[in-house]
Amino acid sequence: MVTSRRLERMKNVLKTRQADLQIFMDYVYSEHNLAAIVRTADAVNVWKVYYRHQNKIRVNDEIAMKADRWMNIENVKDIESFYKRIKSEWYQVVASLIDEDTIDFREVDYTKPTLVVLWNEVDWISEVTKSYADKKIMIPMYWMSQSLNVSVANAVILYEAQRQRQQAWMYDKMQISEQIYEEILQSWIERGNK
Ligand SMILES: C[S@@+](CC[C@H](N)C(=O)[O-])C[C@H]1O[C@@H](n2cnc3c(N)ncnc32)[C@H](O)[C@@H]1O
């Protein structure tokens, strides 16, 4: 049984969910970072968080604060076919990394269908992502430390995407079909207050 207040919250989340804004954490070393990414993705209301890891990861509850229960999360097994599918759906692939060959993250138009790819905490960007990236972005730093934490970088980028999408009224018009809206809402109601 869901309370009417909770039902309203569910409806509002689905009506404002950004169906064509997605995140891909390409290889996870720290599960805590993935959990923090999921929590921000939930706050900005993106459609889906993908990650790559040899095992399915149980998202840390204390960090995600249960955001993972309402977010689509998928482990990408075959990265080539994943990028091919994303491209066939006309997404721009925006890879965030620290390099000279990058543009300021604010120069991207995030109102277009967008997959933001976050690199992992250890390795350099892979050749496969380089070959599919339409844009390579960097968050400017006046730094002594080498980089931002990956979940912090995710938050900075997603809130720029949110700002642009709010200005374009994309949170005011439902982005998913009525059918998908009803299907997800039903499954959430069945899950209730658990
Ligand atoms: C800790 S950093 C990776 C450090 C990696 N060892 C390197 O030298 O590139 C983790 C990820 O966060 C993102 N990131 C961190 N700081 C960033 C910045 N200033 N601009 C863009 N992305 C950043 C990138 O996706 C990066 O791969």
Q: Which domains does the chain have, with CATH numbers?
A: 18-172 (3.40.1280.10)
**CA–CA–CA angle 15, 108, 163 (5° rounding):** 40
Q: For ligand 1, is residue 154 a contact (CB within 6 Å)?
A: no
- Can you tell me which atom of ligand 1 is nearest the CA of 141? 19
Sheet (strand 114-118) strand order: 72-75, 46-51, 18-25, 114-118, 92-96, 135-138, 103-104
Report if pTM > 0.85. yes
Is residue 140 within a helix (H) or strand (E), and if so which, with residue range? none
Tens place of pLDDT per residue across the chain (194 aa) = 788 998 999 999 999 999 999 999 998 888 899 999 999 999 999 999 999 988 887 777 666 666 677 888 999 999 999 999 999 999 999 999 888 889 999 999 999 999 999 987 676 677 888 899 999 999 999 877 788 999 999 999 999 999 999 999 999 999 999 999 999 999 889 886 55
- Between the CA of 107 and the centroid of ligand 1 the distance, in Å, is 18
Angle between helices 4-16 and 178-191 (to 10 degrees): 140
- Between the CA of 97 and the centroid of ligand 1 the distance, in Å, is 5
Q: For ligand 1, is residue 95 a contact (CB within 6 Å)?
A: no
- Between the CA of 94 and the centroid of ligand 1 the distance, in Å, is 13
